[in-house]
Structure 1
Amino acid sequence: MKVFTVSVVAISLFLSSCVSWVFAKSPFNDMPAGEYALDLSHASIVWKVSHLGLSDYVARFADFDASIDYDPNNIENSKVTASINPMSIQTAYPNAAEKDFNNILATDKDWFNAGEFASIEFTSSNIEMTGDTTALMKGDLRFLGTTLPVTLDVTFNGAMQRQPFSGKPTMGFSATTTIERSKWGMSKYVPNIGDSVEVMIEGEFFKAD
Protein backbone atom coordinates (compact mmCIF):
# COMPACT_ATOMS: atom_id res chain seq x y z
CA MET A 1 0.00 0.00 0.00
CA LYS A 2 2.83 2.34 0.92
CA VAL A 3 4.64 1.53 -2.34
CA PHE A 4 1.46 2.24 -4.31
CA THR A 5 1.01 5.57 -2.49
CA VAL A 6 4.60 6.60 -3.15
CA SER A 7 4.23 5.66 -6.82
CA VAL A 8 1.06 7.71 -7.18
CA VAL A 9 2.72 10.72 -5.56
CA ALA A 10 5.79 10.35 -7.77
CA ILE A 11 3.70 10.10 -10.93
CA SER A 12 1.60 13.10 -9.87
CA LEU A 13 4.71 15.19 -9.26
CA PHE A 14 6.15 14.14 -12.63
CA LEU A 15 2.96 15.02 -14.51
CA SER A 16 2.70 18.31 -12.64
CA SER A 17 6.27 19.23 -13.61
CA CYS A 18 5.52 18.33 -17.24
CA VAL A 19 2.39 20.51 -17.30
CA SER A 20 4.31 23.37 -15.67
CA TRP A 21 7.04 23.05 -18.30
CA VAL A 22 4.58 23.01 -21.20
CA PHE A 23 2.62 26.01 -19.97
CA ALA A 24 5.56 27.98 -18.61
CA LYS A 25 5.66 31.55 -19.85
CA SER A 26 8.87 32.87 -21.43
CA PRO A 27 10.22 36.40 -21.14
CA PHE A 28 9.38 38.19 -24.36
CA ASN A 29 13.01 39.24 -24.80
CA ASP A 30 13.84 35.57 -25.31
CA MET A 31 11.29 35.05 -28.11
CA PRO A 32 12.67 34.45 -31.62
CA ALA A 33 12.88 37.41 -33.98
CA GLY A 34 10.88 37.73 -37.15
CA GLU A 35 7.31 37.79 -38.41
CA TYR A 36 4.43 36.96 -36.08
CA ALA A 37 0.94 36.42 -37.44
CA LEU A 38 -2.35 36.99 -35.65
CA ASP A 39 -4.18 33.97 -34.25
CA LEU A 40 -7.69 34.99 -35.30
CA SER A 41 -9.30 32.43 -33.00
CA HIS A 42 -7.82 34.26 -30.01
CA ALA A 43 -8.24 37.90 -30.99
CA SER A 44 -10.90 40.58 -30.78
CA ILE A 45 -11.53 44.23 -31.55
CA VAL A 46 -14.34 45.74 -29.49
CA TRP A 47 -15.38 49.37 -29.32
CA LYS A 48 -17.83 51.39 -27.31
CA VAL A 49 -19.34 54.86 -27.57
CA SER A 50 -21.66 56.85 -25.33
CA HIS A 51 -25.36 56.77 -26.22
CA LEU A 52 -27.08 59.95 -24.95
CA GLY A 53 -24.92 59.78 -21.84
CA LEU A 54 -27.16 56.96 -20.61
CA SER A 55 -25.12 53.91 -21.60
CA ASP A 56 -22.18 52.81 -23.70
CA TYR A 57 -23.11 51.20 -27.01
CA VAL A 58 -20.79 48.24 -27.65
CA ALA A 59 -19.92 46.61 -30.98
CA ARG A 60 -17.07 44.67 -32.53
CA PHE A 61 -15.35 43.78 -35.81
CA ALA A 62 -15.22 40.12 -36.83
CA ASP A 63 -12.89 40.32 -39.83
CA PHE A 64 -9.43 41.81 -39.27
CA ASP A 65 -5.76 40.91 -39.44
CA ALA A 66 -2.47 42.05 -37.93
CA SER A 67 1.21 41.15 -37.87
CA ILE A 68 4.32 41.97 -35.87
CA ASP A 69 7.84 42.27 -37.23
CA TYR A 70 9.48 41.44 -33.91
CA ASP A 71 12.97 42.48 -32.74
CA PRO A 72 13.67 40.95 -29.30
CA ASN A 73 17.07 42.67 -29.09
CA ASN A 74 15.41 46.08 -29.35
CA ILE A 75 11.68 45.74 -28.90
CA GLU A 76 11.15 49.41 -29.68
CA ASN A 77 12.30 48.68 -33.25
CA SER A 78 9.46 46.19 -33.76
CA LYS A 79 6.73 47.08 -36.27
CA VAL A 80 3.01 46.39 -36.13
CA THR A 81 0.50 46.56 -38.97
CA ALA A 82 -3.24 45.88 -38.85
CA SER A 83 -6.28 46.07 -41.09
CA ILE A 84 -10.03 45.88 -40.40
CA ASN A 85 -12.88 45.10 -42.76
CA PRO A 86 -15.64 47.59 -41.80
CA MET A 87 -18.25 45.32 -43.40
CA SER A 88 -17.62 42.88 -40.55
CA ILE A 89 -19.15 45.09 -37.87
CA GLN A 90 -21.30 43.19 -35.38
CA THR A 91 -23.84 44.68 -33.00
CA ALA A 92 -26.49 43.12 -30.82
CA TYR A 93 -29.28 45.08 -32.47
CA PRO A 94 -32.62 43.28 -32.03
CA ASN A 95 -35.01 42.40 -34.86
CA ALA A 96 -32.22 42.09 -37.43
CA ALA A 97 -34.69 40.60 -39.89
CA GLU A 98 -36.59 43.89 -39.91
CA LYS A 99 -33.60 46.23 -39.76
CA ASP A 100 -30.06 45.18 -40.67
CA PHE A 101 -28.33 47.65 -38.39
CA ASN A 102 -24.90 46.09 -38.98
CA ASN A 103 -25.19 46.74 -42.71
CA ILE A 104 -26.48 50.27 -42.13
CA LEU A 105 -23.48 51.16 -39.96
CA ALA A 106 -21.05 49.52 -42.38
CA THR A 107 -22.33 51.07 -45.61
CA ASP A 108 -23.98 54.40 -44.73
CA LYS A 109 -21.92 57.33 -46.01
CA ASP A 110 -22.25 59.07 -42.63
CA TRP A 111 -20.93 56.04 -40.79
CA PHE A 112 -18.25 53.56 -41.96
CA ASN A 113 -18.95 54.06 -45.68
CA ALA A 114 -17.41 50.69 -46.57
CA GLY A 115 -18.48 50.96 -50.20
CA GLU A 116 -15.94 53.75 -50.68
CA PHE A 117 -13.46 52.88 -47.95
CA ALA A 118 -13.13 49.12 -47.82
CA SER A 119 -10.45 48.93 -45.12
CA ILE A 120 -9.33 50.58 -41.89
CA GLU A 121 -5.54 50.48 -41.64
CA PHE A 122 -3.02 50.95 -38.84
CA THR A 123 0.78 51.11 -39.10
CA SER A 124 2.98 51.64 -36.05
CA SER A 125 5.62 54.35 -36.12
CA ASN A 126 7.10 54.19 -32.61
CA ILE A 127 7.04 51.84 -29.63
CA GLU A 128 8.12 53.19 -26.24
CA MET A 129 8.53 50.71 -23.41
CA THR A 130 7.07 52.17 -20.20
CA GLY A 131 7.72 49.13 -18.00
CA ASP A 132 8.73 45.50 -18.19
CA THR A 133 5.36 44.54 -19.67
CA THR A 134 3.83 47.85 -20.82
CA ALA A 135 4.39 50.18 -23.76
CA LEU A 136 2.99 53.13 -25.65
CA MET A 137 2.64 52.38 -29.35
CA LYS A 138 2.18 55.30 -31.69
CA GLY A 139 1.10 54.94 -35.27
CA ASP A 140 -1.02 56.16 -38.14
CA LEU A 141 -4.69 55.22 -38.42
CA ARG A 142 -6.18 55.48 -41.91
CA PHE A 143 -9.95 55.66 -41.65
CA LEU A 144 -12.54 57.11 -44.06
CA GLY A 145 -9.74 58.35 -46.29
CA THR A 146 -8.05 60.34 -43.51
CA THR A 147 -4.76 59.40 -41.84
CA LEU A 148 -4.08 60.68 -38.33
CA PRO A 149 -1.79 59.63 -35.46
CA VAL A 150 -3.08 57.52 -32.58
CA THR A 151 -1.47 56.13 -29.43
CA LEU A 152 -2.26 52.72 -27.95
CA ASP A 153 -1.61 51.62 -24.38
CA VAL A 154 -0.19 48.12 -24.76
CA THR A 155 0.17 45.41 -22.12
CA PHE A 156 2.32 42.37 -22.74
CA ASN A 157 0.41 39.45 -21.25
CA GLY A 158 3.00 36.74 -21.75
CA ALA A 159 4.87 34.52 -24.17
CA MET A 160 5.56 30.85 -24.73
CA GLN A 161 8.42 29.38 -26.66
CA ARG A 162 6.07 26.53 -27.50
CA GLN A 163 2.36 27.17 -27.20
CA PRO A 164 0.99 23.76 -26.17
CA PHE A 165 -1.83 23.61 -28.74
CA SER A 166 -0.08 25.01 -31.81
CA GLY A 167 3.48 24.07 -30.92
CA LYS A 168 4.65 27.51 -32.10
CA PRO A 169 6.30 30.44 -30.31
CA THR A 170 3.40 32.68 -29.29
CA MET A 171 2.97 36.08 -27.63
CA GLY A 172 -0.16 37.69 -26.23
CA PHE A 173 -1.06 41.38 -25.94
CA SER A 174 -3.88 43.66 -24.82
CA ALA A 175 -4.22 47.23 -26.09
CA THR A 176 -6.58 50.16 -25.69
CA THR A 177 -6.96 53.55 -27.30
CA THR A 178 -9.55 56.30 -27.53
CA ILE A 179 -10.17 58.25 -30.71
CA GLU A 180 -12.38 61.21 -31.57
CA ARG A 181 -14.33 59.94 -34.56
CA SER A 182 -15.16 63.43 -35.83
CA LYS A 183 -11.47 64.00 -36.61
CA TRP A 184 -11.78 61.29 -39.28
CA GLY A 185 -14.98 62.82 -40.63
CA MET A 186 -17.55 60.70 -38.78
CA SER A 187 -19.51 63.38 -36.94
CA LYS A 188 -23.08 62.08 -37.27
CA TYR A 189 -25.17 62.69 -34.11
CA VAL A 190 -22.27 64.17 -32.12
CA PRO A 191 -22.62 64.88 -29.18
CA ASN A 192 -25.75 62.77 -28.60
CA ILE A 193 -23.76 59.81 -29.83
CA GLY A 194 -20.36 60.36 -28.29
CA ASP A 195 -17.39 61.67 -30.22
CA SER A 196 -14.93 59.64 -28.13
CA VAL A 197 -14.76 55.98 -29.09
CA GLU A 198 -12.90 53.57 -26.81
CA VAL A 199 -11.25 50.67 -28.63
CA MET A 200 -10.20 47.47 -26.83
CA ILE A 201 -7.94 44.95 -28.55
CA GLU A 202 -6.88 41.43 -27.58
CA GLY A 203 -4.53 39.30 -29.62
CA GLU A 204 -2.25 36.29 -29.66
CA PHE A 205 0.51 36.20 -32.29
CA PHE A 206 2.39 33.10 -33.40
CA LYS A 207 5.73 32.84 -35.16
CA ALA A 208 5.05 32.63 -38.87
CA ASP A 209 6.61 29.70 -40.74
Structure 2
Amino acid sequence: MSRFALLPALLLASLATPALALPATYTPDPSHTYAYFEVGHLGYSIQRGRFDKLGGKIRLDGASQQGVIDIMIDAASISTGFPKRDEALRGEEFFNVARFPTLVYRSTTLKFVGERPISATGTLTLLGVSKPVELKISQFYCAPHPMMKKDMCGAEASASIKRSEFGMNRYMPGIGDDIKISVQIEAFKD
Protein backbone atom coordinates (compact mmCIF):
# COMPACT_ATOMS: atom_id res chain seq x y z
CA MET A 1 0.00 0.00 0.00
CA SER A 2 1.46 3.37 -0.95
CA ARG A 3 1.78 6.06 1.69
CA PHE A 4 -0.89 8.06 -0.17
CA ALA A 5 -3.34 5.17 0.14
CA LEU A 6 -2.36 4.71 3.80
CA LEU A 7 -3.30 8.28 4.80
CA PRO A 8 -7.07 7.93 4.10
CA ALA A 9 -7.09 4.56 5.88
CA LEU A 10 -5.47 6.11 8.96
CA LEU A 11 -7.93 9.01 8.91
CA LEU A 12 -10.89 6.62 8.73
CA ALA A 13 -9.48 4.55 11.58
CA SER A 14 -9.11 7.64 13.74
CA LEU A 15 -12.78 8.48 13.18
CA ALA A 16 -13.86 4.99 14.26
CA THR A 17 -12.44 5.43 17.78
CA PRO A 18 -13.82 8.18 20.02
CA ALA A 19 -11.16 10.60 21.16
CA LEU A 20 -10.95 10.26 24.91
CA ALA A 21 -8.40 13.04 24.71
CA LEU A 22 -11.27 15.52 24.31
CA PRO A 23 -13.31 16.37 27.41
CA ALA A 24 -16.60 14.49 27.28
CA THR A 25 -19.57 13.73 29.51
CA TYR A 26 -21.20 10.29 29.63
CA THR A 27 -24.55 9.08 30.97
CA PRO A 28 -24.88 5.49 32.22
CA ASP A 29 -27.02 3.12 30.13
CA PRO A 30 -29.53 1.74 32.68
CA SER A 31 -29.84 -1.58 30.86
CA HIS A 32 -26.10 -2.31 31.20
CA THR A 33 -25.16 -0.63 34.48
CA TYR A 34 -25.45 -2.25 37.91
CA ALA A 35 -23.84 -2.08 41.34
CA TYR A 36 -23.24 -5.43 43.04
CA PHE A 37 -22.25 -6.19 46.63
CA GLU A 38 -20.85 -9.16 48.52
CA VAL A 39 -21.04 -9.84 52.25
CA GLY A 40 -20.11 -12.81 54.42
CA HIS A 41 -23.00 -14.76 55.96
CA LEU A 42 -22.39 -16.60 59.27
CA GLY A 43 -19.09 -17.93 57.95
CA TYR A 44 -20.93 -20.26 55.58
CA SER A 45 -20.94 -18.31 52.34
CA ILE A 46 -20.58 -15.03 50.54
CA GLN A 47 -24.02 -13.61 49.80
CA ARG A 48 -24.47 -11.34 46.79
CA GLY A 49 -27.01 -8.81 45.65
CA ARG A 50 -27.32 -5.85 43.38
CA PHE A 51 -28.95 -2.49 42.97
CA ASP A 52 -31.06 -2.35 39.82
CA LYS A 53 -31.26 1.44 39.45
CA LEU A 54 -28.18 3.58 39.12
CA GLY A 55 -27.70 6.96 37.47
CA GLY A 56 -25.24 9.80 37.27
CA LYS A 57 -22.66 11.48 35.07
CA ILE A 58 -19.06 10.75 34.22
CA ARG A 59 -16.83 13.47 32.83
CA LEU A 60 -13.49 12.44 31.31
CA ASP A 61 -10.60 14.33 29.81
CA GLY A 62 -7.86 11.84 29.01
CA ALA A 63 -5.47 14.43 27.58
CA SER A 64 -5.33 16.41 30.83
CA GLN A 65 -5.81 13.25 32.95
CA GLN A 66 -8.80 14.70 34.76
CA GLY A 67 -12.34 13.59 35.33
CA VAL A 68 -15.29 13.38 37.68
CA ILE A 69 -17.51 10.44 38.56
CA ASP A 70 -20.93 11.18 40.07
CA ILE A 71 -23.04 8.09 40.72
CA MET A 72 -26.37 7.86 42.51
CA ILE A 73 -27.79 4.46 43.48
CA ASP A 74 -31.47 3.99 44.29
CA ALA A 75 -31.28 2.11 47.61
CA ALA A 76 -34.83 0.75 47.23
CA SER A 77 -33.77 -1.05 44.03
CA ILE A 78 -31.82 -3.62 46.08
CA SER A 79 -32.32 -7.17 44.82
CA THR A 80 -30.94 -10.36 46.35
CA GLY A 81 -33.32 -12.81 44.71
CA PHE A 82 -35.34 -13.25 47.90
CA PRO A 83 -38.16 -10.64 48.31
CA LYS A 84 -38.50 -11.04 52.09
CA ARG A 85 -34.77 -10.37 52.59
CA ASP A 86 -34.96 -7.40 50.19
CA GLU A 87 -37.73 -5.86 52.31
CA ALA A 88 -35.62 -6.31 55.46
CA LEU A 89 -32.63 -4.70 53.73
CA ARG A 90 -34.81 -1.71 52.76
CA GLY A 91 -35.87 -1.28 56.40
CA GLU A 92 -34.46 0.81 59.24
CA GLU A 93 -31.99 -1.87 60.36
CA PHE A 94 -30.06 -1.74 57.10
CA PHE A 95 -30.49 0.79 54.24
CA ASN A 96 -33.43 2.70 55.76
CA VAL A 97 -34.61 3.74 52.29
CA ALA A 98 -37.51 5.80 53.66
CA ARG A 99 -34.99 8.19 55.24
CA PHE A 100 -31.96 7.66 52.96
CA PRO A 101 -33.24 6.85 49.44
CA THR A 102 -29.87 7.09 47.67
CA LEU A 103 -26.26 6.07 48.00
CA VAL A 104 -23.98 8.64 46.37
CA TYR A 105 -20.40 8.35 45.16
CA ARG A 106 -18.57 11.50 44.05
CA SER A 107 -14.96 11.38 42.98
CA THR A 108 -12.49 14.10 43.87
CA THR A 109 -9.60 12.83 41.75
CA LEU A 110 -9.00 10.24 39.06
CA LYS A 111 -5.68 8.51 38.46
CA PHE A 112 -4.76 7.76 34.85
CA VAL A 113 -2.24 5.67 32.97
CA GLY A 114 -1.98 7.52 29.69
CA GLU A 115 -5.55 8.45 28.81
CA ARG A 116 -7.11 5.49 30.68
CA PRO A 117 -8.48 5.98 34.23
CA ILE A 118 -7.31 3.26 36.64
CA SER A 119 -8.74 4.51 39.94
CA ALA A 120 -10.90 7.18 41.51
CA THR A 121 -10.65 8.69 44.95
CA GLY A 122 -13.86 10.13 46.30
CA THR A 123 -16.60 10.09 48.89
CA LEU A 124 -19.35 7.53 49.41
CA THR A 125 -22.44 8.74 51.27
CA LEU A 126 -24.51 5.95 52.81
CA LEU A 127 -27.10 6.40 55.57
CA GLY A 128 -26.18 10.09 55.75
CA VAL A 129 -22.53 9.29 56.55
CA SER A 130 -19.80 10.32 54.10
CA LYS A 131 -16.47 8.47 54.02
CA PRO A 132 -13.54 8.41 51.59
CA VAL A 133 -13.57 5.43 49.22
CA GLU A 134 -11.19 4.46 46.43
CA LEU A 135 -12.61 2.80 43.34
CA LYS A 136 -10.21 0.57 41.41
CA ILE A 137 -10.98 0.53 37.69
CA SER A 138 -9.95 -2.87 36.36
CA GLN A 139 -11.33 -2.53 32.86
CA PHE A 140 -11.96 0.52 30.73
CA TYR A 141 -12.85 0.71 27.04
CA CYS A 142 -14.28 3.36 24.73
CA ALA A 143 -15.51 2.86 21.16
CA PRO A 144 -18.53 3.58 19.02
CA HIS A 145 -21.38 1.25 19.99
CA PRO A 146 -21.77 -1.22 17.08
CA MET A 147 -25.59 -1.07 17.01
CA MET A 148 -26.43 2.37 18.42
CA LYS A 149 -23.68 4.13 16.42
CA LYS A 150 -22.97 6.41 19.40
CA ASP A 151 -19.75 6.80 21.37
CA MET A 152 -19.72 4.69 24.53
CA CYS A 153 -17.31 3.96 27.35
CA GLY A 154 -17.51 0.97 29.64
CA ALA A 155 -15.76 0.05 32.85
CA GLU A 156 -15.60 -2.41 35.69
CA ALA A 157 -14.82 -0.81 39.06
CA SER A 158 -14.66 -2.12 42.62
CA ALA A 159 -14.19 -0.90 46.18
CA SER A 160 -14.22 -2.36 49.67
CA ILE A 161 -15.89 -0.73 52.66
CA LYS A 162 -16.76 -1.54 56.26
CA ARG A 163 -20.49 -1.15 56.74
CA SER A 164 -20.00 -0.33 60.43
CA GLU A 165 -18.20 2.89 59.45
CA PHE A 166 -21.51 4.07 57.94
CA GLY A 167 -23.56 3.07 60.99
CA MET A 168 -24.91 -0.20 59.54
CA ASN A 169 -24.17 -2.54 62.46
CA ARG A 170 -27.16 -4.88 62.60
CA TYR A 171 -26.42 -8.61 62.98
CA MET A 172 -22.65 -8.22 63.18
CA PRO A 173 -20.47 -10.24 63.23
CA GLY A 174 -22.73 -12.95 61.76
CA ILE A 175 -23.36 -10.77 58.75
CA GLY A 176 -19.90 -9.49 57.87
CA ASP A 177 -18.60 -5.97 58.25
CA ASP A 178 -16.50 -6.10 55.08
CA ILE A 179 -18.47 -5.34 51.93
CA LYS A 180 -17.10 -5.59 48.42
CA ILE A 181 -18.85 -3.36 45.91
CA SER A 182 -18.48 -3.89 42.16
CA VAL A 183 -19.92 -1.67 39.47
CA GLN A 184 -20.28 -2.61 35.82
CA ILE A 185 -21.04 0.44 33.75
CA GLU A 186 -21.65 1.28 30.13
CA ALA A 187 -22.23 4.95 29.41
CA PHE A 188 -23.14 6.82 26.24
CA LYS A 189 -21.42 10.07 25.37
CA ASP A 190 -23.84 13.00 25.79
Structure 1 and Structure 2 fold alike (TM over 0.5): yes
Q: State the SS of the aligned residue for 1:87.
A: helix
Aligned equivalents of 2:112, 2:17: Cα separation in 1: 18
- What is the identity, as a one-letter code, of the residue corresponding to 1:177? A
CA contact 1:133–1:155 (8 Å) conserved in 2 = no
**TM-score w.r.t. structure 2 length?**
0.85
CA contact (8 A) 2:20 2:115 kept: no
- The residue aligned with 1:88 is 77
The structure with the greater share of residues assigned to helix is: 1
Question: For residues 139 and 188 of structure 2, what CA distance do their matches in structure 1 show?
Answer: 14
Relative to total residues, which structure has the larger strand share, 1 or 2?
A: 2
Alpha-carbon distance, 1:103 to partner: 1.7
Distance 1:130 1:55 in 2: 36
Mark the structure with the bigger radius of gyration.
1
Equivalences for residues 47-196 of structure 1 within 5 A: 47-75=37-65, 77-93=66-82, 96=83, 100-106=84-90, 108-129=91-112, 133=116, 135-160=118-143, 162-196=144-178
- Once the two structures are TM-superposed, the CA of residue 134 in structure 1 deviates from its matched residue by 5.4
Following superposition, the deviation at residue 71 of structure 1 comes to 1.2
Letter in 2 for 1:53: G
**1:175–1:129 CA distance, 2 compared to 1 (3 A):** same
Matched residue SS, 2:165? helix
The aligned runs of 1:190-209 (5 Å cut-off) are 190-208=172-190
Which 5+ residue runs of structure 1 have no aligned equivalent? 1-20
Change (3 A) 1:207 1:29: closer
Whole-angstrom distance in 2 between the partners of 1:28 and 1:151: 26
CA shift for structure 1 position 34: 2.2
| Identical positions, percent | 27
Runs of 5+ unmatched residues, structure 2 = 1-11
Given the two structures, how large is their TM-score scaled by the length of structure 1?
Answer: 0.78
Please list every run of at least 4 consecutive aligned residues from structure 1 whose deviation after the TM superposition is greater than 4 angstroms: 130-134
